[in-house]
Amino acid sequence: TLAEKITERISERIFCKTFQAIQEERREQAERSVLISCPSKINEKKFLDYLSKHGTINKHFFYNSYGAYAVVEFSSRESIASLKESINIPAVEHEAAVPFKSRLLSFKWPGSQSSSHPMPKFKVQSPPSINEINQLLSEKDSIDEQLQCLTEALELTEENVSLRFLVCSLLRDITGAYFPECIIRPFGSTVNSFGKLGCDVDMILDLEGIYATSQKKGSGLSLEYQVKRGASERAVTQSILSVIGKCVDQFGPGCVGVQNILQARCPLVRFSHQPSGFQCDLTANNRVAMKSSELLFLYGQLDPRVRHLVFGVRCWARVHSITSSIPGAWITNFSLTVMVVFFLQQRNPPILPTLDRLKELAGPSDKCVIEGNDCTIVSDLSKITLQQNTDTLEKLLQEFFEFYGNFPFNKASINIRKGKEQTKPETTALYIQNPFETTLNISKNVNATQLERFVALCRESAWLLQQKEILNRSSDSPWGFAALLLPSVTSGAGVKSRRKRKLEPASSRIKNLLDSLKIKGGETVAKKGSA
């Protein structure tokens, strides 16, 4: 049962590694790994035998992305050095090559290959389609099972996370030429436990290590590096990123479509990493964002219902074009996640603690101040005691929609630090206090129209979840959570996706049902709206 799962999860937590420890372990694994393009009819055994001459292979997997690739993790870094000794820079005809030795390699196989050997398994790196999702959901027996199954279908796999860290590590080989102590760390949905297959890789160029030289006290004599100065911290960040953007563009194997977006609030270099298929955003000097990722990760670990609800809400929002892959006046996945956290803090008893509470529980080594903002949170999850709350996911989903369908957005702001709504300090449509930079609003970009669409859809979904026809498991039409992914009837949401979906066969039962909802739903929403 869910209650048992929750108790089990809480006791597991005691043995949980900290966020930092997990990231360090993954980063270190990535440094011992290589990415190899290989023939699709590869003989796995011969391939591994060949590489094993350089040392023990810990793990490996194959995947397809415009060709076959293998990620190979050695057990020691010396193997990478030994391997590199044996690799040649290719002689290209009619062209010339930039002789940069990276860990992105090509495996050459002389002559034609026989296909009599068994084919390796290729691990999938992309999310299931909406039709596949609907199929999976239809086979479940409850909304709770549907949301658990959705999470399992969409979440990043072990291999996908390894590949993300490897891409960061490959990029570090380029930036390390200028700043040998630097680290490229993934943040955002790659590490916050809410990532969906196919999401972008957000990266930070971390230069902290450069400042960590020993400051020996003594005679008063000392040496200092002479440095080039910039007008401001922002100007220095822009100048570093612009040079790195140029290097990635001109020297980085597999890196294409490099764009320097240096005028943004948070300057970044955007590019596609072709061998992995990832869209990458490289930023610098962005420690608060890393702390936000840690915070979301921590909330995600505290109770399994958090991730299931976030995956459900994010999927629902994407299908109805509440969120978009293009930046604009819409709500972002980050804001939506904070809204789910806030909602779970409002339960009685609360499912999640406030951010202030996480700060109180912090130990001396957790202390963290970034640019004057206190970003301290507890890292040892076992210190957090949770209250007994056994709400089902069905209930939480239903009440999430009711909560935001009736939230006083015009006067209240969402504040997870206090776990209580606060008076809105500004007249923006949606005010969600930035968890660590408390004078900022993370949803400043959202306009009134987008907020209204969100509220209308929340009301409609809340209403749908009260209907017998929607709640009862049915084998011939979408039911439960799947019914919430059908085109909206009350709001003008997602014109494009609605047109697309018209082409798909929908059973006549659900069509009739929706036609009737159009009338009834409109009335209910109007009534609720005036209440």
Count of positions on this chain that bind ligand GTP (CB under 6 A)? 15
Question: Counting beta carbons within 10 angstroms of the beta carbon of residue 115, is it exposed (0 to 12), middle (13 to 18) or buried (19 or more)?
Answer: exposed
Nearest to 190 by CA among 160, 151, 225: 160
Window 407 to 436, contacts with ligand GTP (CB under 6 A): 434
Task: Enumerate residues 6+ apart whose C-beta is below 8 A from 351.
Answer: 303, 305, 306, 344, 345, 386, 387, 389, 391
Least CB distance to Mg ion at residue 195 (A): 8
**Quick one: 31 or 437, whose CB is closer to ligand GTP?**
437
For 387, the token pair is 């209250």
By CB under 6 A, tell whether 373 contacts ligand GTP. Answer: no
Of residues 162 and 398, the one with the C-beta less far from Mg ion: 162
Q: Which of 189, 238, 428, 488 forms a contact with ligand GTP (CB under 6 A)?
A: 189
Pick 164 or 459: Cβ nearer Mg ion: 164
For ligand GTP, give the closer residue by CB, 155 or 200: 200
Residue of 73, 202, 303, 394 interacting with Mg ion (CB under 5 A): 202
Distance CA 360, CA 353 (A): 11
Instruction: Give whichever of 140 and 291 is closer to ligand GTP, judged by the CB atom.
Output: 291
Least separation in angstroms between residue 397's CB and Mg ion is 24
Interacting span for ligand GTP (CB under 6 A) from 172-180, 189-197, 298-306, 448-456: 189-197
Rounded to the nearest angstrom, the gap between the alpha carbon of residue 464 and the centroid of all alpha carbons in its chain is 29
333 binds, among ligand GTP, Mg ion, none (CB under 5 to 8 A by kind): ligand GTP
Pick 127 or 254: Cβ nearer ligand GTP = 127
Q: Helix or strand or coil: residue 55?
A: coil
Residue 308 beta carbon to ligand GTP: minimum distance, rounded to whole angstroms: 16
Round to whole Å and give the CA distance between 431 and 442: 7
Work out whether 437 is an interface residue with Mg ion (CB under 5 A): no
Task: Say whether residue 33 binds ligand GTP (CB under 6 A).
Answer: no
* Partner touching 312 among Mg ion, ligand GTP, none, CB below 5 to 8 Å by kind: none
The CA-atom distances, in angstroms, between 141 and each of 137, 469, 475, 507 are 9, 14, 10, 20
Closest CA to 345 of 316, 292, 302: 302
Q: Which one of the spans 144-152, 188-196, 370-378, 522-530 is the region binding ligand GTP (CB under 6 A)? A: 188-196
Specify the residue, 289 or 464, whose C-beta has the smaller distance to ligand GTP: 289
Residue 332 within binding range of ligand GTP, rule CB under 6 A: yes
Helices 304-319 and 287-302: crossing angle in degrees, nearest 10, is 110
CA gap 270, 284 in Å, rounded: 12
Residue count, binding to Mg ion (CB under 5 A): 4
Given Mg ion, ligand GTP, none, residue 292, with its beta carbon under 5 to 8 Å by kind, binds ligand GTP
Give yes or no for residue 470 binding ligand GTP (CB under 6 A): no
Candidates 293, 398, 474, 491: give the one binding ligand GTP (CB under 6 A).
Answer: 293
How far apart CA 207 and CA 324 sit, in angstroms, is 32
Confirm or reject binding of residue 188 to Mg ion (CB under 5 A): yes
Q: Is residue 316 within 8 Å of residue 497, measured between CB atoms?
A: no
Strand order in the sheet with 104-106: 57-64, 68-74, 33-38, 104-106
Nearer to ligand GTP, 51 or 317 (CB): 317
Q: Which is nearer to ligand GTP, 143 or 298 (CB)?
A: 298
Stretch that binds ligand GTP, among 184-192, 254-262, 359-367, 521-529 (CB under 6 A): 184-192
Residue 74: strand pairing partners = 57
Alpha carbon distance 66, 235 (integer Å):
38
**Closest Cα to residue 286, out of 178, 201, 388, 205?**
205
Bridge partners, residue 33, by sequence? 73
**409 versus 436: smaller Cβ distance to Mg ion:** 436
Q: Which of 163, 199, 203, 493 binds ligand GTP (CB under 6 A)?
A: 199
Contact between 499 and 487 under an 8 Å Cβ cutoff? The reply is no
Q: Single out the residue of 71, 171, 268, 442 in contact with ligand GTP (rule: CB under 6 A).
A: 442
SS3 letters across 282-334: EEECCHHHHHHHHHHHHHHHHCHHHHHHHHHHHHHHHHCCCCCCCCCCCCCHH
Of 202 and 402, nearer to Mg ion (C-beta) is 202
Nearest CA to 463 out of 402, 506, 396 is that of 402
Binding site for ligand GTP (CB under 6 A): 188-189, 192, 195, 199-200, 202, 289, 292-293, 332-334, 434, 442
Binding site for Mg ion (CB under 5 A): 188-189, 200, 202
